[in-house]
Amino acid sequence: MVWLLTCALWLPWLGNLPLRDFDEAGIARTALEFAQAADFNRLLPTRWGEPYLNKPPGLHLLVALAIRFGGSSEAVLRLFPAFLSSLAIPLVLMVQQELSPRQERGTFPHGGFFSGLILMTTLPMVRHGRLLMLDGAMVSAALLLWWGMLLLQRRPLLGSSLAGSACSGLLLLKPPATLGFLAVGGIALLSKELAERRESASFRQQFFPLPWLKATCCFLLGSLPGLGWHGWHIWQRGVDAALIMWGAQGLGRLTTVLDGHHQGWSMPALEVLKGGWPWLLFLPAGLLLALHQWHEGSGAWRLALLVGTLLMVLSLKTQLPWYSHCLWPPLALLEGSVLSKLWRGQRVAGCRLGYPLMLLGLALLLVAGMEAVEVEAISSLPLLSLLIAGAALCMAGFGLQRGANPWALGTLVVGWWLALLCFWTTPHWIWELNENWPTQPVGELLRTRPDYPPVFSYGSERPSLSWYAGHRISALPHYPPDIYALVVPGQQPIDGCQIEVVIPRPQPGRAQNQAVSLQWCHN
């Protein structure tokens, strides 16, 4: 049921906005070249006809299948990533259920149910999951890995098979991340065992005298697709190509800053503080509860998982907003335990959230009111989403203050779910599109006019412009040809150029709404 609710929230209106730079347009192009090749390019990714050595083709191949059957619209391109990302919700439910005491596993609703609801309605988790990116599928594979590692105690063959399959998925998405998620899961599992005060003999008896040979074979069999592709990649393109994928584009981000993305710890901290509401209000109580449950092992596992993922993210010298995506499942596991106890009417230390929820709701309603009267400083915000979210938070806070916990929590989840669903109908859910000029109308014009001379982009290269144009449009070089066309934001001619076409946009004031001109240029 939770997964069906997830699909109902995550899949609508996938195609109402164009692809963004850089990940979406780049992945779409690689997938299109797979789809156009009769042999899927022998499973070796290319981009604009050149070998693509950044990432393996795990997601690209699935998107290529979608292109072959459904075309290359935005909704089709984002369908497989959204579907794979949505699997994180039932997986986090299974992980939480495995950590719960046996007497609670058959009850409903249990802690896993609430962790799933939290992860389902966490804005960055949903938004990045709906985009044509690797990170949502990577989080699902990581959760499958951790679930398999937890199952090693009770069902070693199933657990090792799931862990091996998850490693294959990670190896086909972001290979170096496999090592990090294995280390985090191992640390969490060891912390759980030590917290339960198992003697070393008991610990060895649990893991090593098991049918370890069969379990190892199951793990390797599950890992075979990922390992096999990397072996094929080395065979076809050489060790240097593999070193680029694992080194410069992978482990190298631990030691070097790529493309100026050097914000350090402030980037993941800001992403969590921006996107974790309203569930961040439950995090302090979740941390206290995990400390209280440390001796049971489940609390130690949750805390170790959070600390391990934090260390994995913070150790990166290169920081991008979506690198913190793997933090949301550990946070949901901690917060879901709190919601489970509140639903049953149990007291939770550090969880007096009635007034904070009401204040947060009133703040959203105030912003909605300012948007309704068109205050310029906050114009173009999703009014309906703000109204629904604000009302839900106020009612939930009032209910928690009066002790009506099930009613209050149900109102909070349903209201936030509806607010997010309304958010997808607006042009704001991919807000990065508002940071630069629009590429779709210009690209579609260039696609219909193949008689143009070489076309360049003024400023930096825009992969989404190349995607919609159907051919690569690079940034203006230092020594351009004698005659060329130039895509320029704005409608003022630049030196040596003459405007041919101006594509206006309504509602001026944002970068996506400014005019874009196509200009003929001569040296």
Residue 501 has what DSSP assignment? E
For residues 263, 268, 269, 275, the Cα torsion angle rounded to the nearest 10 degrees is 130
> pTM of the entire structure?
0.92
210 within some domain: yes
Asked whether residue 214 falls in the same domain as residue 248, the answer is yes
The 8 Å CB, 24+ separation contacts for 506-512 are 507/380, 509/379, 509/380, 510/380, 510/434, 511/434, 511/435, 511/436, 511/437, 512/427, 512/433, 512/434, 512/436, 512/437, 512/438
User: Phi and psi dihedrals of 499, rounded to 5?
Assistant: -70, 130
143 within some domain: yes
Q: Which of 343, 364, 381 is the last residue of a domain?
A: 343
461 within some domain: yes
Asked whether residue 228 falls in the same domain as residue 192, the answer is yes
Asked whether residue 325 falls in the same domain as residue 464, the answer is no
- Angle, nearest 10°, between helix axes 135-151 and 74-86? 20
Closest by CA position to 416, among listed 426, 408, 427: 408
348 within some domain: no
pLDDT at residue number 369: 85
Q: What is the pLDDT along the chain (523 residues), one digit of tens a residue?
A: 789 999 999 999 999 999 998 889 999 999 999 999 988 889 999 999 999 999 999 999 999 999 999 999 999 999 999 999 999 999 999 999 888 876 566 666 677 899 999 999 999 999 999 999 999 999 999 999 999 999 988 888 899 999 999 999 999 999 999 999 999 999 998 888 887 765 444 444 454 445 678 888 889 999 999 999 999 999 999 999 888 888 877 677 777 766 655 666 788 888 899 889 999 999 999 999 988 888 888 889 999 999 999 999 888 877 778 888 999 999 999 999 889 888 887 777 767 888 899 999 999 999 888 877 766 555 577 889 999 999 999 999 998 888 778 899 999 999 999 999 999 999 889 988 888 888 898 998 888 887 778 899 988 889 999 999 999 999 998 888 989 999 998 888 888 888 888 887 544 445 566 788 999 998 7
50-99 pLDDT, tens digit per residue, is 999 999 999 999 999 999 999 999 999 999 999 999 999 999 999 998 88
pLDDT at residue number 65: 96
Helices (H), 315-404: 328-343, 354-372, 383-402
Q: Which of 376, 406, 428 is the last residue of a domain?
A: 428
3-state class of 105 per DSSP? helix
193 within some domain: yes
Closest by CA position to 326, among listed 309, 339, 340, 342: 309
CB contact burial 281-319 (16+ within 10 A = b; e otherwise): bbbbbbbbbbeebbebbbbbbbbbbbebbbebbeebebb
> Which residues lie closer than 8 Å to 259 by C-beta, 6 or more apart?
318
> Distance from CA of residue 262 to its chain's centroid?
20
Asked whether residue 153 falls in the same domain as residue 283, the answer is yes
The whole-angstrom separation of Cα 96 and Cα 107 is 13
Structural tokens at position 267:
């980037």
Structural tokens at position 521:
């240029």
349 within some domain: no
Q: Which of 280, 310, 343 is the last residue of a domain?
A: 343
Kind plus residue range of the DSSP H or E element containing 75: helix 74-86
pLDDT at residue number 374: 67
Per the CB < 8 A criterion, the answer to whether 74 and 66 are in contact is no
For residues 383, 389, 392, 397, the Cα torsion angle rounded to the nearest 10 degrees is -120
Asked whether residue 220 falls in the same domain as residue 363, the answer is no
Residue type, 457: S
**Structure-token match 């935005």, residue found:** 74
Per the CB < 8 A criterion, the answer to whether 243 and 176 are in contact is no
For 250-317, the DSSP string reads TGGGGTS--TT---TTHHHHHHHHHH-TTGGGGHHHHHHHHHHTGGGSHHHHHHHHHHHHHHHHHT-S
The whole-angstrom separation of Cα 74 and Cα 112 is 33
Asked whether residue 79 falls in the same domain as residue 180, the answer is yes
Asked whether residue 334 falls in the same domain as residue 416, the answer is no
The whole-angstrom separation of Cα 220 and Cα 230 is 14
Asked whether residue 82 falls in the same domain as residue 113, the answer is yes
366 within some domain: yes
> Which residues lie closer than 8 Å to 375 by C-beta, 6 or more apart?
none
Query: Omega into 441 within 30° of 0, i.e. cis?
Result: no
Per the CB < 8 A criterion, the answer to whether 439 and 464 are in contact is yes
490 within some domain: yes
From residue 393, give the alpha-carbon distance in Å to each of 361, 409, 414, 419.
Answer: 5, 10, 10, 11
Residue type, 15: G
Per the CB < 8 A criterion, the answer to whether 462 and 473 are in contact is yes
Per the CB < 8 A criterion, the answer to whether 289 and 348 are in contact is yes
> Which residues lie closer than 8 Å to 278 by C-beta, 6 or more apart?
357, 360, 393, 412, 416
Asked whether residue 333 falls in the same domain as residue 371, the answer is no
Asked whether residue 490 falls in the same domain as residue 358, the answer is no
Asked whether residue 396 falls in the same domain as residue 479, the answer is no
Q: Which domain holds residue 452?
A: 436-522
Asked whether residue 54 falls in the same domain as residue 84, the answer is yes
Query: Omega into 22 within 30° of 0, i.e. cis?
Result: yes
Total domain count, the chain: 3
